[in-house]
Amino acid sequence: MLGGVTAPVSSPPTEQQTRQALLGVLITICLWGANVVVLKAVLGVLNPETTNTGRMLIAGAVLMTLAVRAHGWPRWNARTWFTVAGVGLLGNTLFQATFLTGIRLNPAGVAGLVNGLVPVLVLPLGLLLGQRFTRRQGLGVGVAFAGLLGLLLLTRAPGVAVTPAGLLWLVGAAVIWALYTLFNRPLSARLGALPFVAFSLVLGSVPYLLYALPHLQLGTEAGTGAPLLAWVGVLFSALGANVVAYLAWARGAQVLGAARTSVWQALAPVVALVLSAALLHERLPPSVWGVAGIILAGGTLANWPKTDRSARETEQDALTGKAS
pLDDT tens across the length of the chain (324 residues): 333 344 444 567 788 888 888 888 888 889 988 999 999 999 989 999 999 999 999 999 999 999 999 999 999 999 999 999 999 999 889 998 898 898 888 888 888 887 777 777 777 787 777 777 778 878 877 888 788 788 777 766 666 667 788 888 988 988 898 888 788 778 887 888 889 989 999 999 999 999 999 999 775 444 455 688 899 999 999 999 889 887 887 777 667 765 566 667 778 888 888 888 888 888 877 887 888 888 888 877 777 766 544 444 444 444 444 545
pLDDT value at position 159? 61
Q: Is the dihedral of CA 238, 61, 1, 99 positive or negative?
A: positive
Give the DSSP letter of residue 225: B
Question: What pLDDT does residue 2 have?
Answer: 36
8, with CB counted inside 10 A (0-12, 13-18, 19+), is exposed
Domain ranges for the chain, please list them: 15-320
Residue 311: per-residue pLDDT = 45
Which residues neighbour 131 within 8 Å (Cβ) at sequence distance 6 or greater? none
Instruction: Report how far apart, in Å, the C-alpha atoms of 318 and of each of 2, 4, 188, 252, 261 are.
Output: 10, 14, 11, 9, 7
Query: Which among 215, 190, 207, 245 is positioned nearest to 90, based on CA atoms?
Result: 207
Give the pLDDT confidence score for residue 258 in this predicted structure.
57
Query: Could you give the CA distance from residue 125 to residue 171 in angstroms, rounded to a whole number?
Result: 14
pLDDT at 221: 46
Question: So what's the pLDDT on residue 260?
Answer: 62
Helix (H, G, I), strand (E, B) or coil at 320: helix
Residue environment code for 223-252, b if the CB has 16+ CB neighbours within 10 A, otherwise e: eeebeeebbebbebbbbbbbbbbbbbbbbb
Task: Please answer whether residues 121 and 178 qualify as being in contact, where contact means their C-beta atoms are separated by less than 8 angstroms.
Answer: yes
